[in-house]
């Protein structure tokens, strides 16, 4: 919907306007990029730069982070030469261009979407890009973050700008109060199940409503992170006191009176009262249950209290075939109760759910209990790891029988060699249950950290709520 | 970039929804240099079993469709990871056009940047095309100027962002265009430094 510049604007409209450099007749707009993160996969883009004998245009706005390929078991082990090569290329490409790198041995190293917020590199009102689809995460601060491909990475490296067509605006409101044990992951999976993995395609999503306002920054990061799994261009939450309190004192955030002045600007970043959205979705928080995925797309998500769908009862033949295919890959029976699905291992980590609050939620369930299956816990950053150790969470994970390792993308994508074996079933806090995502033939069930902990102690997909109640 | 105008070629039906970029190219192959070519990794785990042998029933392994330059799939093609390697795998295999009812946004723009046409058709039209191709292997014609797909007299319209269409028709690259905007960019940054002094990161 076209809006006059003087009329009521959405938060996204405001971000758009503050970054538009020129708009062509064909409605493509050249946008200014405030932050650009590059990880090991950026070598394709740096090679394009070399072909043109070009240099990074704004090294001060570009930050390198080693995360996708870093080994999570580091001490006393030699690194696979192909992986070492990926790390070396990033080191070379950043140092040759004067770009700061949070490398393997940097105490601030971690997953890009955890480190950015943690370091105060992510701020409200910024346009942030990275060659990684989960860049939507940074929207939690009222920033506009989106993932780009290698050609676009090269374009940003060379010009600090990007051409875009304005996406449509969608508001997803979640009102009411979440029940204990239910969090941002359950909200996000419920939304994706409802609108589909392409339900927000071509849209900039704003999350609003009392349940969203009540979320911590960690929760908002999880929610915005999963926007891309609904196909959205980006997801965002308007800044408020929670945002400002999180940012105060972060290493790269403005300091002192500069911070207070910035905070005034940031708190003005919100959708105007009468702003029009192209699409509105409303959810009732009190109806949200703990959710798990059963299939091979994040849209294949259901409350844990239900059963695997039966393709025979689906009239749409294409949809039925899709379910049949997913059930075959996942080795599940139609109509099988979700709580009857036995698992082989668990993974707690990834940019979706590896922040301190996620680790606390899992540890709360695991404390004093034993996991029936093996599993890996990889904190989202080296600083999160430090914090968790200071709180004694590492000991809870170890006592439960899980492995406590260093930070990185790890088993989210398996690039560093942390994979789920073929045919194995993993309860995972990650974001994609795609075929082969966690390793060839791996079967992934997505859920919240508390739900993964519940699966670990029971050995099957399980409702975390009784396990929490036993504690209180 | 190689322009795309009109292409008549073998089209392979891929009757699957949500073919994500992890399937288009599994992550484990992405350490390779592009110079080695990514074509053999395209849809690797759908095309090959774990011992490396071809899975006979998979469409791209059938003699009729092995040399397809067009593929026709179901909704949400290229969802997921932003890896441009997914497009490299298609392009290096020889694919110049993907026809589907919807595409992952990042995939689609990556495609255009590599001269690969993401042609969007209605869900019914995708189903009819898939059925037609499954019934009898054939060439189809994708005309970007006219924005339609024809085969044996049947014509199906498709949509593509008009800017992407221009880029594909002409083989344009954004970078040169952007570099010509140097003055506008300089003006923007000067104004912006006053409006948003906090937008540049600082330590200390
Ligand atoms: S943790 Fe997973 S989703 Fe997040 S940046 Fe790493 S690979 Fe991407």
CATH number at residue B112: 3.20.19.10
Which residues of chain B are within 8 Å of residue A22 when distances are taken between CB atoms?
Answer: 181, 184
Question: Is B193 part of any domain?
Answer: no
Question: Is B200 part of any domain?
Answer: no
**CA nearest neighbour of A116 among A253, A321, A318, A301:** A253
User: What would the mean pLDDT of B12-32 be, rounded to a whole number?
Assistant: 95
Question: Is B105 part of any domain?
Answer: yes
pLDDT digits (tens, 9 = 90+) for B86-133: 999 999 999 999 999 999 999 999 999 999 999 999 999 999 999 999
Distance separating the N- and C-terminal Cα atoms of chain A: 50
Measured between CA atoms, how close is B9 to chain A, in angstroms?
Answer: 26
Instruction: Name the packing angle between helices A393-400 and A382-390 (round to 10°).
Output: 90
Which residues of chain A, if any, have pLDDT below 70?
1-5
**CA nearest neighbour of B112 among B150, B160, B146:** B160
A39 lines ligand 1 (CB under 6 A): no
Q: Just give the CATH number of A11-279.
A: 3.30.499.10
Q: For residue A292, list its beta bridge partners.
A: A302
A347 contact partners, CB below 8 Å, separation of at least 6: A375, A376, A377, A378, A410, A411, A412, A420, A426, A427, A428, A429, A430, A438, A452
Determine, for residues A123 and B198 on separate chains, whether the beta-carbon distance falls below 8 Å: yes
Determine, for residues A434 and B20 on separate chains, whether the beta-carbon distance falls below 8 Å: yes
Which residues of chain B are within 8 Å of residue A228 when distances are taken between CB atoms?
Answer: 80
A431 lines ligand 1 (CB under 6 A): yes
pLDDT digits (tens, 9 = 90+) for A246-295: 999 999 999 999 999 999 999 999 999 999 999 999 999 999 999 999 99
pLDDT greater than 90 at residue B174: no
Superfamily of domain A306-469: Aconitase, domain 3 (3.30.499.10)
A138 lines ligand 1 (CB under 6 A): no
Q: Which among B178, B179, B192, B200 is the top mutation candidate for probing chain A, defined by the most A β-carbons within 10 Å of its own β-carbon?
A: B178
Question: Is B185 part of any domain?
Answer: no
Reduced to 3 states, what is the DSSP secondary structure of residue B8? Answer: strand
B7 contacts B96 by C-beta, under 8 angstroms: yes
Determine, for residues B178 and A34 on separate chains, whether the beta-carbon distance falls below 8 Å: no
Measured between CA atoms, how close is B148 to chain A, in angstroms?
Answer: 21
Question: DSSP letters of B112-157?
Answer: HTTT-EEEE--HHHHHHHHHHHHHS--EEEEETTTTEEEETTEEEE
A454 lines ligand 1 (CB under 6 A): no
Determine, for residues B79 and A231 on separate chains, whether the beta-carbon distance falls below 8 Å: yes
- Ramachandran category for residue A271: left, alpha or beta (phi over 0 → left; psi -120 to 50 → alpha): beta
Reduced to 3 states, what is the DSSP secondary structure of residue A56? Answer: coil
* Dist. CA A113–CA A227, nearest whole Å: 14
Matching CATH topology for A11-279 and A306-469?
A: yes
Q: Which among B122, B199, B202, B203 is the top mutation candidate for probing chain A, defined by the most A β-carbons within 10 Å of its own β-carbon?
A: B199
* Dist. CA A136–CA A49, nearest whole Å: 25
- Here the tokens at position A255 are 């300091």
Name the residue in chain A with its Cα closest to that of B163: A26
* Dist. CA A174–CA B119, nearest whole Å: 35
Q: Residue A45: in which H helix or E strand, if any?
A: helix A43-51
Q: Are strands B97-100 and B117-120 parallel, antiparallel or unpaired?
A: parallel
Distance separating the N- and C-terminal Cα atoms of chain B: 45
- Structurally, chain B folds into a number of domains equal to 1
pLDDT digits (tens, 9 = 90+) for B52-95: 999 999 999 999 999 999 999 999 999 999 999 999 999 999 99
Name the residue in chain B with its Cα closest to that of A132: B82
User: Which pLDDT value is given to residue A3?
Assistant: 45
Measured between CA atoms, how close is A355 to chain B, in angstroms?
Answer: 21
Report which DSSP code applies to A167.
P
Atom index in ligand 1 nearest the CA of residue A432 equals 3
Report which DSSP code applies to A164.
E
User: Which pLDDT value is given to residue A1?
Assistant: 41
Measured between CA atoms, how close is A349 to chain B, in angstroms?
Answer: 17
User: Which pLDDT value is given to residue B138?
Assistant: 83
Determine, for residues B110 and A149 on separate chains, whether the beta-carbon distance falls below 8 Å: yes
User: Which pLDDT value is given to residue A437?
Assistant: 96
Determine, for residues A123 and B199 on separate chains, whether the beta-carbon distance falls below 8 Å: yes
Best of A66, A409, A444 to mutate for ligand 1, by most ligand atoms within 8 A of CB?
A409
Q: What are the structural domain ranges in chain A?
A: 11-279, 306-469
At A342, phi and psi to the nearest 5?
Answer: -80, 145
**Cα A310 to ligand 1 centroid, rounded to whole Å:** 32
A111 lines ligand 1 (CB under 6 A): yes
Average pLDDT in chain B: 94
Q: What is the ipTM score, two decimals?
A: 0.92
A290 contact partners, CB below 8 Å, separation of at least 6: A181, A182, A186, A303, A304, A447, A448, A450, A451, A463, A464, A465
Tell me which residue in A121, A197, A265 faces B79 most closely, judged by beta carbons. A197
Question: Is B44 part of any domain?
Answer: yes
A351 lines ligand 1 (CB under 6 A): yes
Rounded to two decimals, the pTM is 0.95
Report which DSSP code applies to A305.
T
Side by side, which strands form the sheet with B139-143?
A: B117-120, B97-100, B70-73, B6-14, B139-143, B148-151, B154-157
Determine, for residues B18 and A197 on separate chains, whether the beta-carbon distance falls below 8 Å: yes
Cα dihedral angle (A267, A269, A272, A275), rounded to 10 degrees? Answer: -150
Residues A385, A386, A387, A393, CA torsion sign: positive
* Dist. CA B189–CA B193, nearest whole Å: 6
């Amino acid at each position: 919907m076209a809006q006059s510049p003087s009329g009521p604007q959405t938060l996204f409209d405001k971000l758009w306007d503050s970054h538009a450099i020129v708009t062509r007749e064909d409605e493509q707009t050249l946008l200014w990029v405030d932050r650009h993160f590059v990880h090991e996969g950026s070598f394709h883009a740096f090679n394009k730069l070399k072909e043109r004998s070009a240099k990074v245009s704004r090294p001060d706005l570009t930050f390198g982070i080693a995360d996708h390929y870093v080994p999570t078991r580091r001490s006393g082990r030699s690194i696979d030469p192909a992986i070492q090569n990926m790390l070396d290329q990033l080191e070379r490409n950043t140092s040759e261009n004067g770009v700061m790198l949070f490398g393997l041995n940097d105490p601030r190293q971690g997953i890009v979407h955890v480190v950015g917020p943690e370091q105060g590199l992510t701020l409200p009102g910024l346009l942030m890009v990275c060659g990684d689809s989960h860049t939507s995460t940074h929207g939690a601060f009222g920033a506009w973050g989106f993932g780009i491909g290698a050609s676009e990475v090269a374009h940003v490296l060379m010009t600090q700008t990007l051409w875009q067509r304005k996406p449509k605006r969608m508001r997803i409101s979640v009102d009411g109060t979440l029940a204990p044990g239910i969090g941002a992951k359950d909200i996000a999976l419920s939304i994706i199940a409802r609108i589909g993995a392409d339900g927000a395609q071509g849209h900039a999503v704003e999350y609003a409503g009392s349940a969203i306002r009540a979320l911590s920054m960690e929760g908002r990061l999880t929610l915005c992170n999963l926007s891309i799994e609904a196909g959205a261009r980006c997801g965002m939450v308007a800044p408020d006191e929670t945002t400002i309190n999180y940012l105060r004192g972060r290493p790269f955030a403005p300091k002192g009176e500069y911070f207070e002045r910035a905070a005034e600007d940031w708190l003005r970043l919100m959708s105007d009262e009468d702003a029009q959205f192209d699409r509105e979705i409303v959810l009732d928080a009190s109806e949200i249950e703990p959710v798990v995925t059963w299939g091979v797309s994040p849209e294949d998500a259901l409350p844990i209290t239900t059963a695997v769908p039966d393709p025979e009862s689906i009239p749409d033949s294409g949809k039925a075939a899709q379910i049949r295919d997913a059930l075959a890959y996942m080795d599940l029976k139609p109509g099988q109760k979700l709580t009857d699905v036995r698992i082989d291992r668990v993974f707690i980590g990834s940019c979706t759910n590896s922040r301190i609050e996620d680790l606390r939620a899992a540890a709360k369930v695991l404390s004093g209990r034993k996991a029936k299956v093996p599993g890996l816990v990889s904190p989202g950053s080296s600083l999160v790891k430090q914090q968790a150790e200071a709180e004694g969470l590492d000991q809870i994970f170890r006592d439960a029988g899980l492995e406590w390792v260093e930070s990185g993308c790890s088993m989210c994508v398996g690039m560093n060699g942390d994979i789920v074996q073929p045919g194995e079933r993993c309860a995972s806090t990650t974001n994609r249950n795609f075929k082969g995502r966690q390793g060839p033939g791996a079967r992934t069930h997505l859920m919240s950290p508390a739900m993964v902990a519940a699966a670990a102690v029971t050995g099957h997909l399980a409702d975390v709520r009784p396990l929490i109640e036993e504690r209180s | 970039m190689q322009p795309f105008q009109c292409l008549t070629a073998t089209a392979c039906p891929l009757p699957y929804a949500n073919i994500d970029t992890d399937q288009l190219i599994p992550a484990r192959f992405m350490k390779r240099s592009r110079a080695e070519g990514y074509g053999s990794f395209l849809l690797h785990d759908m095309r090959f079993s774990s011992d490396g042998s071809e899975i006979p029933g998979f469409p791209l392994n059938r003699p009729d469709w092995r040399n397809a330059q067009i593929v026709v799939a179901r909704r949400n093609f290229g969802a997921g990871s932003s890896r441009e390697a997914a497009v490299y795998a298609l392009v290096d295999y020889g694919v110049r056009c993907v026809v589907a009812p919807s595409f992952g946004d990042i995939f689609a723009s990556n495609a255009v940047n590599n001269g690969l046409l993401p042609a969007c058709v209605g869900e019914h039209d995708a189903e009819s095309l898939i059925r037609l191709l499954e019934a009898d292997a054939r060439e189809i014609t994708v005309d970007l100027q006219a924005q339609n797909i024809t085969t044996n007299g049947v014509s199906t319209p498709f949509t593509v962002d008009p800017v992407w269409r221009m880029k594909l028709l002409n083989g344009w690259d954004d970078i040169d265009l952007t570099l010509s905007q140097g003055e506008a960019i300089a003006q923007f940054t000067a104004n912006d430094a006053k409006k948003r002094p906090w937008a540049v990161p600082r330590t200390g």
